[in-house]
Structure 1
């Protein structure tokens, strides 16, 4: 319930009357950190049904629609490179930051129209590329290219996994 309320607020543009530029800078301080985020709880009852993204004032957002009431286990963290989930193959990814998203949810029914550009992030401040890295054994893997290892947060619930990466 809290997630749904927060998601609705985060998606709606907010204007603050009388806010100074300094206030805007303070509002964008993301004290999220760059360390790995792990929640392991087994596979979700659903499956990956979609991937989408959005731009916000202070961060870029990636949403994985899981098609289940409860989110699956996941691992999100920066790595030196993006490897395919089932092959011994390094996948090129734009950006110096390689944020890997691994989710315990079947992905066999989901096939992005363009695995190299799962979502169009042209013009985004933080996301440089979102790339499909495959699905195998009840897990899906994606890579998010960023300019550097920027702070991020992960929230889950309501059949979604949400990854927000700060602009700075």
Structure 2
């Protein structure tokens, strides 16, 4: 590979264009994660009711899973200064240095209006003791086919959101948040 003349390097640096030496090794992403922290979304609105919220710890990330009976839902997952409850608009108190506002485009009730998911403790949907990134998952309610969950995390970290189709007409919305950048 041909070297850049010193006079050209000075001009490029002085012009603010930056310079990367061809032999300079760039740091590999943490655990190969390259998710970023921008909002993630998918659009389908479904009538598949939410049936459960659960979590899991992995080597490189913490995971939150929303289970539904039926088709995979649309969703919007984004960092926000605060998370607000469906219908009432009340601020959901959350622990953590950053907050993920999770909107599931699916209800937590059936066609007769009966709850399909009613958390025992709306402020603590799952036990997150010992998690590296998650601090608190709180219920924001379900109104007009939309359901909100607030997720308090340690800091603004890379995350991903996606849906999976399981067996027995079950689908899942999965949110993974990396332990670090």
- TM-score, normalised relative to structure 2: 0.75
- Secondary structure of residue in 1 paired with 2:50: coil
1:129-140 superposed matches below 5 A: 129-140=136-147
3-state SS, counterpart of residue 115 of structure 1: coil
Query: Secondary structure of 2:176's match?
Result: strand
What is the CA distance between 1:139 and its match in structure 2?
1.1
- Aligned partner of 1:104 in structure 2 is 105
Aligned match of 1:35: 38
Distance 2:45 2:150 in 1: 21
Q: Distance in 2 between matches of 1:100 and 1:88?
A: 13
Structure 1 unaligned residues grouped into runs of 5+ = 1-24
> How many residues matched?
142
CA RMSD, Structure 1 to Structure 2 (Å): 1.4
> How far has the Cα of 1:27 moved from its partner?
6.3
Q: Which 4+ runs in 1 deviate beyond 2 A?
A: none
Greater C-alpha radius of gyration: 2
Residue 163 of structure 1 corresponds to which residue in structure 2? 175
TM superposition score normalised by structure 1: 0.81
Provide structure 2 residue ranges, at least 5 long, that are not aligned to the other structure. 1-27, 110-114, 166-170
